[in-house]
C-alpha cells in the first residue's frame, strides 16, 4: 500500500488563501497593514533566494514587506542598531533576521536585540523559553504570548490538517537543531506525544527510528533515512533539503519509504512550502497582538535584560555542572 502524501504545496495554498482573507479583514477593521521587515547582511545566494520567496508570499497574502539589506562588511553594532530601530517603528509588526550572518558577527547578540513581540520566526530565547515552559495543549495557558519558529510550526500544521494522531504516539526526531528539531520536540510534547530526540551519537540510529509512530528528520543529509529504518504504517515528516545526483531530495529515501510509511511528506513540496505561510500567520498574529494591545503598548515597562557583553567570558552555570 502506498502512503498518504502529506502535500505541503496544496495545503500551503489553502492556508495562504485563509491568511489573505484574514489580512483583508484586519486591514478593514483597523486600517493597518500587517508588515514584515526582513533583515539580512551580505549576498549569500541561498539567503537572497529565500528573501525573494518570502517577499512573494507576502504579496500573495497581502502582507506588506520591507527588505533591509546591510553590506557583507557590516558590524554587529550596525545590525543591533537596525534591530532597535525596527523595534521602535510601530508600522513594523514582524521582523525576521536571515542567517547566516557574515563571519565575526554573533547571531545571538543580534537576535536578542530584537523585540520578542516582533520576533515572528521565534528566534529570540525569550520565545524559545516561553515555548519550553508552555503547558500541555489542553491545560490553561501558563506563559505570555510567544512565537514558534515557522518551520516546525508548519510541520505540526501539516500533521494536524491531515488528521495525524499525535496524542499518545511515539515520535522520534532525528536532529536536535535549535530552529527545527528542538521546537518540534516541544510542540509534539505539548500535544502529548512521547518524543525521543536523536543526534550524531545515537547508535544504532535505525533501532530508535523503527520505534517511531511519527518519524521526523531534520539533518540535511540526503537519504539518511532508508525504508528499513521506518516502522510500517508510520508517519514520516521530512525537513531535509539537499542535493543528490543533481536533484533536490530530503533526508528520507522517498520512493522506497512511501511503500512502507502510512503517511509521508515529499521533498520538495512537503514541509518546505509550509514554512513561508506560517511566517505569514505569525506576522498577522503579531500585528493583531500589537494593534489589540493598542495604546497599552506605550505603557510597556522595559525589563532590563543583560545581553551577552562583548568582553564577557563567563561561562553559563550548565558548563560548570
Which of positions 227-256 make contact with a second copy (CB under 8 A)? none
Determine the distance from the C-alpha atom of residue 261 to the mean position of all C-alpha atoms in its chain, rounded to a whole number.
25
Q: Is 50 in the site for a second copy (CB under 8 A)?
A: no
Binders in 289-308 for a second copy, by CB under 8 A:
289, 292-293, 296-297, 300-308
Q: Is 187 in the site for a second copy (CB under 8 A)?
A: yes
Stretch that binds a second copy, among 96-104, 217-225, 264-272, 279-287 (CB under 8 A): 279-287
* Closest distance of CB 78 from a second copy, Å: 15
Q: Which three cell numbers stand for residue 115?
A: 523585540
Interior/surface letters 307-318, b for 16+ CB within 10 angstroms, e for the rest: eeeeeeeeeeee
Q: Is 220 in the site for a second copy (CB under 8 A)?
A: no
Q: Which three cell numbers stand for residue 289?
A: 497582538
CA distance 186 to 135: 10
Binders in 71-110 for a second copy, by CB under 8 A:
87, 107-109
Contact 67, 8 (CB under 8 A): no
Binders in 136-175 for a second copy, by CB under 8 A:
136-137, 141-148, 153, 156-157, 160, 167-168, 170
Q: Is 6 in the site for a second copy (CB under 8 A)?
A: no
Between 88 and 243, whose beta carbon lies closer to a second copy? Answer: 88
Picking from 230, 227, 252, the residue whose alpha carbon sits closest to that of residue 241 is 252
* Closest distance of CB 304 from a second copy, Å: 5
Picking from 204, 136, 134, the residue whose alpha carbon sits closest to that of residue 168 is 136
Amino acid at each position: 500500500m502506498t502512503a498518504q502524501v502529506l502535500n505541503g504545496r496544496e495545503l500551503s495554498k489553502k492556508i495562504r488563501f485563509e491568511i489573505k482573507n484574514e489580512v483583508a479583514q484586519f486591514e478593514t477593521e483597523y486600517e493597518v497593514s500587517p508588515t514584515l521587515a526582513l533583515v539580512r547582511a551580505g549576498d549569500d545566494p541561498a539567503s537572497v533566494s529565500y528573501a525573494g520567496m518570502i517577499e512573494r508570499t507576502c504579496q500573495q497574502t497581502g502582507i506588506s514587506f520591507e527588505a533591509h539589506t546591510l553590506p557583507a562588511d557590516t558590524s554587529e553594532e550596525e545590525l543591533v542598531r537596525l534591530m532597535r530601530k525596527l523595534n521602535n517603528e510601530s508600522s513594523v509588526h514582524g521582523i525576521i533576521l536571515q542567517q547566516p550572518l557574515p563571519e565575526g558577527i554573533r547571531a545571538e547578540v543580534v537576535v536578542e536585540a530584537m523585540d520578542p513581540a516582533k520576533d515572528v520566526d521565534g528566534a529570540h530565547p525569550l520565545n524559545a523559553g516561553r515555548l519550553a515552559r508552555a503547558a500541555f495543549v489542553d491545560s490553561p495557558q501558563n506563559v505570555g504570548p510567544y512565537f514558534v519558529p515557522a518551520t516546525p510550526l508548519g510541520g505540526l500544521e501539516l500533521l494536524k490538517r491531515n488528521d495525524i494522531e499525535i496524542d499518545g504516539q511515539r515520535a522520534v526526531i532525528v536532529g536536535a537543531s535549535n530552529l527545527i528539531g528542538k521546537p518540534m520536540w516541544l510542540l509534539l510534547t505539548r500535544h502529548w506525544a512521547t518524543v525521543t530526540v536523536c543526534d550524531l551519537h545515537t547508535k544504532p540510529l535505525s533501532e530508535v527510528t523503527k520505534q517511531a509512530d511519527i518519524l521526523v528528520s531534520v539533518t540535511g543529509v540526503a537519504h539518511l533515512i532508508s525504508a528499513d529504518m521506518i516502522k510500517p504504517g508510520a508517519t514520516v515528516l521530512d525537513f531535509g533539503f539537499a542535493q543528490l545526483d543533481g536533484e533536490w531530495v530530503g533526508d528520507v529515501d522517498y520512493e522506497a519509504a512511501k511503500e512502507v510509511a502510512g503517511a509521508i511528506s515529499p521533498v520538495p513540496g512537503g514541509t518546505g512550502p509550509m514554512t513561508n505561510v506560517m511566517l505569514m500567520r505569525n506576522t498577522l498574529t503579531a500585528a493583531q497582538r500589537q494593534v489589540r494591545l493598542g495604546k497599552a503598548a506605550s505603557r510597556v515597562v522595559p525589563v532590563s535584560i543583560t545581553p551577552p557583553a562583548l568582553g564577557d567570558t563567563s561561562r553559563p552555570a550548565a558548563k560548570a555542572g
